[in-house]
Structure 1
Amino acid sequence: MRFLSAAAALSIHLSLFVGAVAARSWADKSGEYELEADLVAFDDETVILRRADKELAALAIAQLSDADREFLNSPEAKDAKAKTFAAPQEWTLRDGQKLTGEIVDFADRDLVIDRRRGRIFVNDRLMNNLPEFYRNLIPQIVAHEKRLPQTSGRALRRWLIDQGDQPHVFHVQGVVIEDDKGDEFAVPFFLFSEADLKLLQPGWDEWLAAHSKKNYEEEEDQGFLLRSLAAARQQDQELQREIALMQLTMQSIQAGVTSLWEVTLYPAAGQGGPPLWVVVTGRDSNQATIAAMEKNPGYVAGPVRRISRRAR
Structure 2
Amino acid sequence: MKKILSLALAAVMLFGCVFAFSSCDKELVGFDIDLAKEVGKKLNLEVEFVEINWDTKEADLQNKNIDVVWNGFTYTTDRDNGYYDEDRQAQIGGLAFSKFYMTNKQVAVVKADSTFTDNASMANAEFVAEATSAGSKVVEDIFGKSANTVEKQLDALVGVEAGTYDVAVLDASLASQYVQNKNGAYNGKLKVLDIAGVEPEYYAIGFREGSNLADVFNNVLAGLYADGVAKTVAERYAQDGVLYNGFGEYDANYQLPTDGDYAYVKENGKIVIGYTIFSPMAYFPE
Same fold flag (TM > 0.5): no
- TM-score range, shorter-chain basis? under 0.3
Q: Which has the higher contact order (CA 8 A, sep 6+)?
A: 2
| Bigger Rg over Cα | 1
Question: What TM-score does the superposition give when structure 1 sets the normalisation length?
Answer: 0.23
Question: What TM-score does the superposition give when structure 2 sets the normalisation length?
Answer: 0.25
Give the helix-richer structure, 1 or 2. 2
Give the strand-richer structure, 1 or 2. 1
